[in-house]
Structure formats: C-alpha cells, structure tokens
C-alpha cells in the first residue's frame, strides 16, 4: 500500500514570490545618496577591506570580488594575505545587527589607524553605525528578528540577499563610470583553483 504524503511546506513558487517581493521592496527603498557616499570612499581608497561573519561575510566576499574586477585593491579581513589597514584605506563592515563583535572590533581598529569605515547594517544606531563614516541601511530584518514584520524569510536571509544585490547594483554603477570593457574586467577574474 502506497501512502500519499501531503507537503508540509508551501510550494516552491510561494517561496519565490516571498523572496522576489521582499527584495524588490528593499531595493526600491535604498538611499542612493548613502550608496554614492560609500562609492566615493571605496573608489578613493588605496585599498578596500571587507569583513562580515557567516552568510553576511560570504555576501561581502562576493562584493569584494566584483571590486577586484573593477581593478581595485581589495582584501578580505582574516585572510592570511590581508595586509595591515591604514590611512587612505576603507573598510566595508557588514553586520545586520551592527553588533557582531569581530566586525565592530575591526571598525575600531580601522578608525584607530586612520581608515574610513562604511557600515552596511539594518540598525542605524548600532555600535557599528556609530563607528562608521558612511552608514548604509538595508531595511531588512537581522537574524534575531523573528517577528516576520520586516521579512517572512528565515533569520537574516533578506539582509544577506540585499548585501549581494545592492553591491551588484553598486558594481554596475561604478563600472558604468569607467571605460572598461567586460573583457578587461574578465582579465582580472580568478584563474587558479
């Protein structure tokens, strides 16, 4: 006898609808001036450093790779080849809550060494935001917000998605301001491993 199993969850299309609706809502609410100020610090830096933990950190690393494609010197904090941060450098610090200890400590170290800090967070009054030269707010739930009032997605999923999508939009804006072809950017793409 074969037993029919009823799905316990919604359909895949329901999940797609939630993700698309939420990311569209956040993308259309982003403050362009904040992103423009961040772009000025990023493109004017001697070197750009990125830090984030967990999935936020993975999204930050993806943003770092796109900045490398533009020809910027970019380092991921914590990698053994990352040099010391100093004056004329910029740290992009990503934390939904703005309280992630290693991210906040890195912002302190960057400031102590004369570097600029760009905070990417959901929390405008967080410790990270207070240490930043530019605060970019992504109006998405952080991972501890389980109220579903901001996002129906689990944990910090919307924030992490928005870090990736907003930085991809930033990349395209920065690229449009250069005379670099796609082939020129591709020449900087990783070719080992």
86-104 as b/e: b if 16+ CB within 10 A: eeebbbbbbbbbbebeebb
DSSP reduced 3-state for 78: coil
Catalytic (active site) residue 160: yes
Strands lying side by side in the sheet with 48-52: 74-76, 48-52, 90-94, 116-121, 134-137
Catalytic residue selected from 6, 21, 32, 160: 160
Q: Give the residue numbers annotated as catalytic, written as ranges.
A: 160
């Amino acid at each position: 006898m074969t037993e029919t199993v009823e799905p316990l969850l919604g359909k895949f299309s329901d999940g797609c609808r939630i993700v698309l609706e939420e990311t569209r809502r956040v993308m259309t609410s982003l403050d362009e001036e904040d992103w423009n100020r961040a772009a000025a610090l990023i493109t004017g830096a001697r070197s750009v450093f990125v830090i984030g933990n967990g999935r936020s950190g993975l999204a930050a690393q993806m943003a770092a790779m796109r900045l490398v494609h533009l020809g910027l010197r970019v380092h991921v904090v914590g990698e053994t080849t990352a040099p010391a941060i100093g004056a004329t450098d910029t740290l992009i610090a990503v934390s939904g809550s703005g309280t992630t200890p290693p991210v906040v400590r890195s912002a302190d170290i960057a400031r102590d060494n004369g570097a600029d800090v760009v905070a990417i967070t959901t929390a405008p009054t967080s410790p990270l935001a207070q240490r930043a030269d530019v605060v970019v707010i992504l109006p998405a739930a952080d991972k501890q917000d389980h109220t579903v009032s901001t996002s129906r997605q689990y944990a910090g999923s919307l924030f992490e998605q928005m870090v990736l999508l907003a930085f991809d939009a930033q990349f395209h804006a920065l690229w449009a301001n250069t005379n670099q072809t796609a082939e020129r950017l591709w020449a900087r793409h990783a070719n080992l491993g």
